Amino acid sequence: MKAYLSNTLEKTIKKLKGEYDREAKLELEVKLMLDRELELDKIEYSSGHYKKTDDLLENAHLYQEDLEKIREKYKYHLVDVPWFDLDEKIHREIKRESYCRKFNLTPEELEYVAKEVEQRINGESRLKEIEFLIRDDNCSVRELEEAVKLEEKYGSKERVTELAKMLEKATVKSEEINRGRIIKITHRNDVKWSIACNVMSDIKLNVNPHWGKAREAKFQVDWVKKLNLLKERLKEKGIYLNKQYEADRKHEAVIMQTWQEINTEMEKERNKQLGFEEPDLPPFDWEKFTKEISHRHPDRNHATVSVLRTDISQEQFEKARQEFYAKQVEEHNKHNPRGLKDRLKDVENMRPERTIGENNAPEIGGR
């Protein structure tokens, strides 16, 4: 009996190893094929492309151009994007057959192509997000570390060296700022970081790099109008989005509350144009959240959301924001006749198409 079990186990291991070796071989072949085909499409940028700027609009336009280049680079290799129209389904099958013939691949191997292309688009898009934050002079050490790894994988050796120098300087500066503190500062200005993530999320939704074509104009978010409205309304309150004011923590709650109000207004306007029923969701109460999170630490000198609490990561901080908003929505539901499920359906209806691998920036309230 023992001999039989041993023999069966050995055969199973060999079979699994064979399947694994075969899969690893297919993945490697696909990666090499894409490396070869995309070599001429490598995106190069001038040194001025990474220059720090106080102009959020200019920075956002550069990010949009970057995503458009990524979309253009990979659009031919998006062979497994789902289509909804019958004619487009037929077109996809023709493209898949043509792609297999050109690169001598089997239909099964197209799965590895789709997986590798999606991974590369995710990686390169994430790198462009971090470069946006570098130009915004609001990039954390953790994000710079991530950028170095992504640049090693998808970029150039020269750029890796440049980013490594930035990381070294940022690490020294971060250690000087945080020396002796339990609380660790990650971004120079957390509110502006949140706004930047929101804007990048809107741009990625519009450009749609994972689909090979931009989202239809009627479904696009007017992020330029959002930023212009923010600038105008803050100016009325004597607040300007430049280095002098963004570092002043007393303005954090006002800036974020104004931004949330603009997002809510724009969403209502967009839903009305598209004919969607307006979801009854409250705007994120940034001021209340600020007070709640600040009470978690006894040192009142650091009562601000621009710093992270003891021993928690950025992801945990974002989770705290999501949990806070969930409680806010729950409280809102008690005074509203419509159920949460109905409102969630409304939110789903606001997304006429599913975007593969959407931006991983956190979404809170209108974000």
Q: Which pLDDT score is estimated for 239?
A: 84
Alpha carbons within 13 angstroms on the beta-carbon side of residue 158 total 4
Task: State the chain's mean pLDDT as an integer.
Answer: 78
- Write out residues in the chain with pLDDT < 70, as ranges: 1-20, 44-48, 84, 182-183, 241-249, 277-280, 293-318, 336-367
Angle formed by the axes of helices 223-236 and 252-274, nearest 10°:
140
Q: Give the residue from 237, 292, 287, 263 showing the smallest Cα distance to 350.
A: 263
Q: Give the residue from 209, 264, 220, 255 showing the smallest Cα distance to 71.
A: 209
Ordered DSSP codes for 135-199: HTT---HHHHHHHHHHHHHHS-HHHHHHHHHHHHHHHHHHHHHHTT-SSEE-SS-HHHHHHHHHH
What is the amino acid identity at position 325?
Answer: Y
3-class state of residue 307 by DSSP: strand
Residue 138 near residue 54 (C-beta atoms within 8 A): no
Residue 169 near residue 225 (C-beta atoms within 8 A): no
Tokens of 270: 């967009």
Alpha-helical segments (H) within the chain? 2-38, 56-74, 86-103, 110-135, 141-154, 157-178, 190-207, 223-236, 243-246, 252-274, 286-294, 314-334, 340-349
Q: Give the residue from 116, 130, 128, 50 showing the smallest Cα distance to 79.
A: 116
Q: Which pLDDT score is estimated for 309?
A: 41
Q: Which pLDDT score is estimated for 69?
A: 93
Q: Which pLDDT score is estimated for 311?
A: 42
Residue 202 near residue 340 (C-beta atoms within 8 A): no
Residue 219 DSSP label: G
Note the pTM of the prediction, 2 decimals. 0.73
User: How many CB atoms within 10 Å of residue 59?
Assistant: 21
Residue 125 near residue 67 (C-beta atoms within 8 A): yes
Q: Which pLDDT score is estimated for 12?
A: 55
Q: Which pLDDT score is estimated for 291?
A: 72
How far is residue 285 from each of residues 150, 207, 261, 307, 364, measured CA to CA in Å? 35, 30, 10, 18, 10
Please, is 75 exposed, middle or buried when counting C-beta atoms within 10 Å of its C-beta (0-12, 13-18, 19+)? Answer: middle
How many degrees, rounded to 5, is the angle at CA 79 between CA 213 and CA 106? 170
Place of tokens 């839903």: 271
Q: Give the residue from 56, 53, 33 showing the smallest Cα distance to 203.
A: 56
Distance CA 219, CA 299 (A): 46
Tokens of 225: 């109008």
User: What φ, ψ does residue 80 adopt, rounded to 5°?
Assistant: -130, 25
Tokens of 46: 């001038």
